[in-house]
Amino acid sequence: MSPFGELGRRLEKAGVPFRRDQPLAPLTWMGVGGRVALLAEPRHAEDLALLRREASGLGVRLETLGVGANVLVAEGEIPLAVVRLTAGAFQEVSIREGQVEAGAGASLEPLIRRTLAEGLAGLEGLVGIPATVGGALAMNAGSRHTEISASLVSVSVVDALGERKILPKSMCRFGYRKSGLKGMTVISARFSLGSGDPEALREAARAIKDEKARTQPLGDSSAGCIFKNPPGKSAGQLIDAAGLKGAREGQAQVSDRHANFIVNLGGATADEVGRLIDRVREGVRRARGVELELEVVRWP
């Protein structure tokens, strides 16, 4: 039996909900790519710990999927097991005296709205970023206004071996759009927020969201920014300056609204997106001598 078959057998025995041979395209914003051997949706942290332990013992690569807003999945059969934190146990949010405890499967946007309504400051700079709390932390999502790690106190995780741990922020190795959390699964996070006037906070959030809607293709299928901004430079401006805005491979196109986004015009394939990424990288290297680094996460 393959390691995936054996993992499925063990999950079945333990009652952990999962499905075999699942397409990932509908679970990502870009909407491209193939199928994974196993997709699990644990009921609670104990299920998740068992899943991580068994996957690790069997040598199965296990990845956590949020809302798939920064993931680009390859074509074909992907040798991966994927876990999603869709169960209620991972969505809970509690707010008390400026301390926010949020499940990693909770959506970021409603969480931000709730903190603003309670007059809590710190997350408003993240409005308009499609994410789960866990995905935002793993990517250290942010804008020019802030990063999610700025108001973080600690995270609760299940590590690669299935151990539950609480990591203070100092152990999460946050950097620009990166963290040390990707090899584990974040299950919840604690934030400490300041106080502010709810109306002023909502107004600030509205202005940030309007600016985002003006400058980014929010209504299209994309995976967010494809490349990180090189130090002191804008990846979008470099791509634009290399004459690649609007460039196409099949149904994948460099957005003409923001050149650091690739959009799926409808029916694009992962290979088309991959070819366009290579072309953009090569074009910027030749035109500007800059090596662009991927921000988007590619599976496998």
Ligand X SMILES: Cc1cc2nc3c(=O)[nH]c(=O)nc-3n(C[C@H](O)[C@H](O)[C@H](O)COP(=O)(O)OP(=O)(O)OC[C@H]3O[C@@H](n4cnc5c(N)ncnc54)[C@H](O)[C@@H]3O)c2cc1C
Q: Interface with ligand X by CB under 6 A: which residues?
A: 29, 63-71, 85, 104, 129-132, 134-136, 138-139, 141-143, 177, 181-182, 185-186, 216, 218, 222-224, 297
Least distance (Å) between residue 3 CB and ligand X: 20
Closest CA to 82 of 28, 135, 130, 38: 38
Between 65 and 292, CB nearer to ligand X:
65
- Classified as helix, coil or strand, 121 is strand
Least distance (Å) between residue 195 CB and ligand X: 25
Least distance (Å) between residue 287 CB and ligand X: 25
Least distance (Å) between residue 51 CB and ligand X: 13
Between 94 and 195, CB nearer to ligand X:
94
Between 220 and 271, CB nearer to ligand X:
220
Cα gap 237→119, rounded to integer Å: 36
β-strand pairing of 221-225 with 252-254? unpaired
Q: Which two tokens stand for residue 24?
A: 């990932």
Least distance (Å) between residue 269 CB and ligand X: 18
The CA-based dihedral angle spanning residues 183, 188, 190, 194, taken in that order and rounded to the nearest 10 degrees: 100
Cα gap 108→121, rounded to integer Å: 15
Between 43 and 285, CB nearer to ligand X:
43
Between 104 and 280, CB nearer to ligand X:
104
The CA-based dihedral angle spanning residues 119, 175, 300, 259, taken in that order and rounded to the nearest 10 degrees: 80
Least distance (Å) between residue 198 CB and ligand X: 23
Between 12 and 92, CB nearer to ligand X:
92
Cα gap 276→217, rounded to integer Å: 17
169 Cβ partners below 8 Å, 6+ apart?
Answer: 149, 152, 153, 154, 155
Between 177 and 281, CB nearer to ligand X:
177
Least distance (Å) between residue 177 CB and ligand X: 6
Burial class (CB in 10 A: 0-12, 13-18, 19+), 32: buried
